[in-house]
Amino acid sequence: MENREIELRICHMYPDLLNLYGDRGNVLSLIRRAELRGIKVKLVPVSIGDEFDEKDFDIVFLGGGQDAEQNVIRRDFVEVKGPKVKDAIEHGMVFLCICGGYQMLGKYYQEHDGTKIECLGAIDVYTVGEDVRFIQDTVYEADFLKDDKAEDSSRLYGFENHSGRTYLGPSVKPMAKVVEGAGNNGKDGYEGAIYNNVFCTYSHGSFLPKNPRMTDHLIRIALKRRYGEDYELPELSMETEEFARAALLRYKEKGNTAP
Amino acid sequence: MASFRYHFAILSAKATRLALRIMGRGATTLPGKVAVKFDPLLLQKLCEGRNCVTITGTNGKTTTTHMITDIFRNCGYTVVTNVSGANLLSGVTTSMIFGLKDIKKAEKAGKKVICVLETDEAAYGKIACQIKPKVSVVTNLFRDQLDRFGELAHTRELIAKGLDSCDADILLNSDDSLVSELYSGREKRTVFYGLSEESMHYNNVTYPDKSGVLPASSDAEYCTGCRTKYTYTARSFGHLGAFSCEKCGKTRKKPRFYVEYDLSRNPSDEGYELSLCDGEGSSQKKKQVKLPIPGMHNFYNSISAVAACVRMGEIIGDKEELSFEKCAAALEHVEAAFGRMEKISIGDKKICVLLVKNPVGLDRALSFVAGASDAEGIYMLLNSNIADGKDVSWIWDVDFESKEFPKKVYVSGDRYGDMMLRIVYSGVDRSQIVAKPMEECADLLDQAISDSTPGKCLYILPNYTSMLALRSILVKRYHLKDFWK
């Protein structure tokens, strides 16, 4: 057991198109916290026209993009890769989807003028576009990350930047409670969505770097799925990440100190 | 004839500047802001009948403006220009108001006058109609503070609106697919500038693209017309390169003005040589110059500056003084603007400040520092004020992984935690980094300077508001002269 080589296969979907607001930092986090544990990482970009086969991967990452770019991939994602992605999700594949990626997994996106854009419909959520954009630092509380040994283990930090309001159906659970920020729709106090092993959030940019427990959680469930429930993810220090989190807290308390 | 309103507006600007100066503050935008309240069309009146050049786009505006200004001055012109950052209606107006004295003096002495105005890309749509430039340079379109401006396509629309509100000759970057799009519908008044394909960095197997674990986020991989992925025969950096769309046939236009560069040389070296060219074949003009401001992005800034001056000469009928030869030669005397590669001596130590505001700027700066033979330390400052963009996630869009960091790394700014984490995640050892909050940034600067070896250089990479803070620290602690004096 100790000597077996562990491998994590990451599928980065549309890295050439969905690459806004630092989403690639999430992939770098998965790679780093896996590699530091001696886990071999295989990263595969899957873009328009590329084959997607769930048996090739342990984690799928889907970010957000500019509107123009999202329109380019919609057909490929919904019509071409759609059925396979849906199957993968039903079979328990681990997904992390941010903002545009989150919206695209849902049933539809309704634009300001009422036009409904058909989305994948892999999870029971829908999104309505509104004029006012939520742009701010965010803090969430995610119960599934609670670890009694660490004080702020269930705290997630993020930055949201979206004009879509997402509403969850009964088969989908929110990922976290909003402590600061707007979250899914600015109304119900919840952020993101969880369905099977799919994790969706509006938290852009360096979501995983700032939340190493979330990174570890994704790696853990992906590897347990592949190597069996008895697989134990090796311990790994979070000192650097904790330093960054402390700096962020400090910033939140003091605000901008520069001119 | 100038109205009462006009004179009163000018007077109000002068009074405002006096008040600000008494308070010991710079007066680069507020006077114009006050004046425009009294006369909303003041800028139009100030620019009327004058020969104006505007520079807009996301990156390189300040350096290009600076270069154009210096070329015109070297060619015997009196130039009115705005200081860096003061590039909205208020700042441009302020510069024109206080430039009036110089203009009148020059006109009395029979000297020719040019106004060289840097204009914010989001404000261009509104102010170009007042400036009515004769030449308009569009530098490039890279992601920049998206939380403020929205998306790049929108920024381009704003620029297009400005271009259509005047009849300026348009100088477009041929290698930027997003910028060169502005050609359509404006064919007759467009001139292209760029790099020769052979001089683009990634065209050659000897100099392969050093890419990290992940390719850096690109801003325009797909054709803006038909949404097919571009094929590139060569790339310079970011999405700039020799692109073409196989489906709809949209392709990079051959530029009239272009740079030829020997790729075996290191663009991080000072005083590197490059050739500036105008046209092809028997009528080709070519001039070899040594550029005092290093860095590959300055290839673009240089050629666009020369192109702007030459075109202005052709338009106003001064081909003699503004010949290609003279304009290109004048480039050699250009000095860096503050925060744009200027090397500053502090005792026997050296610092170099490289302002970084967006992903491509940071990518260029890091790659420059990685190539600089005198780089010993790097000091990065990241703030998130409104002027910086509140969202700092863009630092993750940059390919840090492929860049080699100097031995000593210092980090500050309100977002020092984010920046520290970004650097560590790229593979730099945590023990190499000293990270301190913004309140301690001056002390950290002292430490970084005292840590450095004479003859070596400390490269400082601040974003916008941290650069302002840094500048005032340099004035106070190191007695460097301030920019508005």
Residues A50-106: pLDDT tens digits? 999 999 999 999 998 877 777 778 889 999 999 999 999 999 999 999 999 999 999
Q: How many domains does chain A have?
A: 1
- Domain boundaries defined on chain B: 45-77+112-333, 340-478
pLDDT band at B212 (very low <50, low <70, confident <90, very high): low
Of A54-58, A140-144, B36-40, B364-368, the least confident: B364-368
Domain extent, residue A21, equals 7-254
d(CA B65, CA B337): 10
Residue B480: pLDDT above 90? no
Segment A35-58 shows an average pLDDT of: 95
Residue B96: pLDDT above 90? yes
With an 8 Å Cβ cutoff, are A17 and B394 in contact?
no
pLDDT at A18: 84
CB A15 within 8 A of CB A47: yes
Instruction: For residue B403, give the nearest of B382, B378, B433, B430 by alpha carbon.
Output: B378
d(CA A13, CA A58): 13
Residue B53: pLDDT above 70? yes
pLDDT at B64: 95
pLDDT tens digits, one per residue of A226-239: 999 999 999 999 99
Nearest to B421 among A15, A20, A240 (CB): A240
Comparing B259 with B2, the larger pLDDT belongs to B259
CB A96 within 8 A of CB A68: no
Nearest to B393 among A43, A205, A246 (CB): A205
State which residue of chain A sits closest to B420, comparing Cα positions: A244
pLDDT band at A37 (very low <50, low <70, confident <90, very high): very high
With an 8 Å Cβ cutoff, are B393 and A19 in contact?
no
Q: Which residues does chain B have within 8 Å of residue A48's beta carbon, measured at their own beta carbons?
A: 229
With an 8 Å Cβ cutoff, are B418 and A206 in contact?
yes
Full 3-state SS string of chain B? CCCHHHHHHHHHHHHHHHHHHHCCCCCCCHHHHHHHHHCCCHHHHHHCCCCEEEEECCCCHHHHHHHHHHHHHHCCCEEEECCCCCCCHHHHHHHHHHHHHHHHHHHHCCCCEEEEEECCCCCHHHHHHHHCCCEEEECCCCCCCHHHHCCHHHHHHHHHHHHHCCCCEEEEECCCHHHHHHHCCCHHHEEEEEECHHHCHHHCCCCCCCCCCCCCCCCCCECCCCCCECEEEEEEECCEEEEECCCCCCECCCCCEEEECCCCCCCCCCCCEEEEEECCHHHCEEEEEECCCCCCHHHHHHHHHHHHHHHHHHHHCCCCCCCHHHHHHHHHHCCCCCCEEEEEEECCEEEEEECCCCHHHHHHHHHHHHHCCCEEEEEEECCCCCCCCCCCHHHHHCCCCCCCCCCEEEEECCCHHHHHHHHHHCCCCHHHEEECCHHHHHHHHHHHHHHCCCCCEEEEEECHHHHHHHHHHHHHHHCCCCCCC
Residue B386: pLDDT above 90? no
Residue B207: pLDDT above 50? no
In a domain, A2, yes or no: no
pLDDT tens digits, one per residue of A217-228: 999 999 999 999
Q: Which residues pair with B45 in a beta bridge?
A: none
Q: How far is A19 from chain B (nearest CA, A)?
A: 6
Average pLDDT of chain B?
Answer: 90
State which residue of chain B sits closest to A47, comparing Cα positions: B229
pLDDT band at B484 (very low <50, low <70, confident <90, very high): very low
In a domain, A46, yes or no: yes
Nearest to B213 among A19, A43, A137 (CB): A43
Scored b (16 or more CB within 10 A) or e, A21-53 reads: bbbbbbbbbbbbbbeebebebebeebbbeeebe
In a domain, A198, yes or no: yes
Optimal mutation site among A8, A23, A33, A69, interface B, most CBs of chain B within 10 A? A69
- Judge residue B288's burial from the number of C-beta atoms within 10 Å of its C-beta, 0-12 exposed, 13-18 middle, 19 or more buried: exposed
Q: Which residues pair with B22 in a beta bridge?
A: none
pLDDT at A247: 95
With an 8 Å Cβ cutoff, are A22 and B397 in contact?
yes
- Judge residue B238's burial from the number of C-beta atoms within 10 Å of its C-beta, 0-12 exposed, 13-18 middle, 19 or more buried: buried
Instruction: For residue B465, give the nearest of B447, B435, B441 by alpha carbon.
Output: B441
As a CATH number, domain B340-478 is 3.90.190.20
State which residue of chain A sits closest to B437, comparing Cα positions: A247
Q: In CATH, what number is assigned to the domain containing residue A101?
A: 3.40.50.880
pLDDT tens digits, one per residue of B409-454: 999 999 999 999 999 999 999 999 999 999 999 999 999 999 999 9
Q: Which two tokens stand for residue B261?
A: 């560069």
Residue B482: pLDDT above 70? no
Q: Which residues does chain B have within 8 Å of residue A31's beta carbon, measured at their own beta carbons?
A: 213
Q: What is the amino acid identity at position B204?
A: N
pTM, two decimals, is 0.86
Q: Which residues does chain B have within 8 Å of residue A25's beta carbon, measured at their own beta carbons?
A: 393, 396, 422, 425
CB B179 within 8 A of CB B141: yes
Count of Cβ atoms closer than 10 Å to residue B268 Cβ: 18
Count of Cβ atoms closer than 10 Å to residue B1 Cβ: 3
pLDDT at A72: 79
pLDDT at A167: 98
Enter the DSSP assignment of A55.
G
Q: Which two tokens stand for residue A252?
A: 């939140």
**C-alpha torsion sign, points A129, A133, A135, A141:** negative
Q: Which two tokens stand for residue A222?
A: 């992906």
Q: How far is B217 from chain A (nearest CA, A)?
A: 6
Sheet holding B433-435: strands in order across?
B340-346, B349-354, B457-462, B375-381, B408-412, B433-435
With an 8 Å Cβ cutoff, are A240 and B420 in contact?
yes
pLDDT band at B26 (very low <50, low <70, confident <90, very high): confident
**Percent of chain A beyond pLDDT 70?**
97
Q: How far is B466 from chain A (nearest CA, A)?
A: 7
CB B42 within 8 A of CB B36: yes
Fold (CATH) for B45-77+112-333? UDP-N-acetylmuramoyl-L-alanine:D-glutamate ligase (3.40.1190)
Which residues are CB-contacts of B292 (< 8 A; sequence separation ≥ 6)?
Answer: B270, B271, B332, B333, B334, B335, B336
**Percent of chain B beyond pLDDT 70?**
93
Average pLDDT of chain A?
Answer: 92
**Most confident stretch, A194-208, B74-88, B127-141, B254-268:** B127-141
Residue B209: pLDDT above 80? no
d(CA B427, CA B212): 11
Nearest to B438 among A25, A248, A257 (CB): A257
State which residue of chain A sits closest to B433, comparing Cα positions: A240
| Length reported for chain A | 259
d(CA A22, CA B71): 39
Comparing A248 with B484, the larger pLDDT belongs to A248
With an 8 Å Cβ cutoff, are B385 and A27 in contact?
no
Q: Which two tokens stand for residue A236?
A: 């790994």
Nearest to A259 among B384, B420, B468 (CB): B468
d(CA A60, CA B183): 40
Comparing A204 with B328, the larger pLDDT belongs to B328
Give the 3-state secondary structure of residue A56: helix
Residue A176: pLDDT above 80? yes
Which residues are CB-contacts of B358 (< 8 A; sequence separation ≥ 6)?
Answer: B58, B59, B142, B143, B144, B145, B394
pLDDT band at A3 (very low <50, low <70, confident <90, very high): low
In a domain, A102, yes or no: yes
d(CA B85, CA B92): 10
Segment B268-273 shows an average pLDDT of: 76
pLDDT tens digits, one per residue of B313-323: 999 999 999 99
Q: How far is B216 from chain A (nearest CA, A)?
A: 9
pLDDT band at B203 (very low <50, low <70, confident <90, very high): low
Segment B236-253 shows an average pLDDT of: 91
With an 8 Å Cβ cutoff, are A43 and B214 in contact?
yes
CB A72 within 8 A of CB A102: no
pLDDT at A195: 98
Q: Which residues does chain A have within 8 Å of residue B147's beta carbon, measured at their own beta carbons?
A: 135, 161
Instruction: For residue B466, give the nearest of B438, B443, B433, B434 by alpha carbon.
Output: B438
Which residues are CB-contacts of B469 (< 8 A; sequence separation ≥ 6)?
Answer: A258, A259, B381, B383, B438, B441, B462
